[in-house]
């Protein structure tokens, strides 16, 4: 009986170790996915910031053309979150990618943070959601 109980305890402890190892593996995968997403978002944020701080109109226009190449079309919707309450977003008037990028060029200020991005099968952006920083 004692051997049987000991074997059951060993099996239980091994199953617990396996479960914890799997949880850790899944946590690391999720962390890596989030880091990759953040770095992708950071690249877009930096590109938008570059348009806003361009040294000349020609420089800004070149940066806008480069940025528009990452969008499925210049008419991709850009949604700006102006407030979040209990998980519900309140949006500013929708705009397009081209209008938003030209807005950045005109105001020379980037006061947003990329919240989410949808892409198509070819990796082109089809929708952008930005969080307004106050």
Q: Are 41 and 94 in contact (CB under 8 A)?
A: no
CA dist., res. 69 & res. 58, Å (int): 17
When pLDDT is averaged across residues 29-50 and rounded to a whole number, the result is: 83
Q: Please count the other Cβ atoms lying within 10 Å of the Cβ belonging to residue 10.
A: 10
What's the pLDDT at 4?
92
What's the pLDDT at 31?
85
φ, ψ for residue 88 (rounded to 5)? -105, 125
Q: Are 129 and 81 in contact (CB under 8 A)?
A: yes
Of 65, 102, 97, whose CA–CA distance to 78 is shortest? 97
Q: For the chain, percent helix, then strand, then coil, each to nearest 5?
A: 55, 25, 20
Angle CA(96)–CA(101)–CA(103) in degrees, nearest 5?
95
What's the pLDDT at 24?
94
Average pLDDT, rounded, for the chain: 92
pTM of the model: 0.71
pLDDT tens-place string over residues 47-91: 999 999 999 999 999 999 999 999 999 999 999 999 989 889 999
Q: Please count the other Cβ atoms lying within 10 Å of the Cβ belonging to residue 23.
A: 10
When pLDDT is averaged across residues 96-107 and rounded to a whole number, the result is: 96
Which residues have a Cβ under 8 Å from the Cβ of 60 and sit 6 or more positions away? 51, 54, 104, 105
Angle CA(114)–CA(118)–CA(121) in degrees, nearest 5?
140
Helix, strand, or coil (residue 105) = helix
């Amino acid at each position: 009986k004692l051997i049987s109980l000991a074997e059951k305890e060993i099996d239980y402890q091994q199953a617990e170790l396996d479960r914890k190892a799997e949880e850790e593996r899944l946590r690391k995968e999720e962390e890596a996915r989030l880091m990759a997403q953040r770095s992708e978002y950071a690249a877009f944020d930096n590109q938008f910031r570059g348009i806003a701080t361009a040294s000349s109109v020609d420089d800004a226009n070149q940066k806008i053309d480069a940025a528009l190449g990452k969008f499925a079309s210049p008419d991709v919707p850009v949604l700006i979150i102006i407030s979040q309450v209990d998980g519900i977003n309140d949006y500013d008037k929708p705009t397009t990618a081209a209008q938003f990028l030209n807005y950045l060029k005109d105001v020379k200020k980037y006061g947003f943070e990329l919240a989410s991005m949808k892409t198509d099968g070819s990796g082109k952006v089809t929708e952008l959601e930005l969080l307004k920083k106050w």
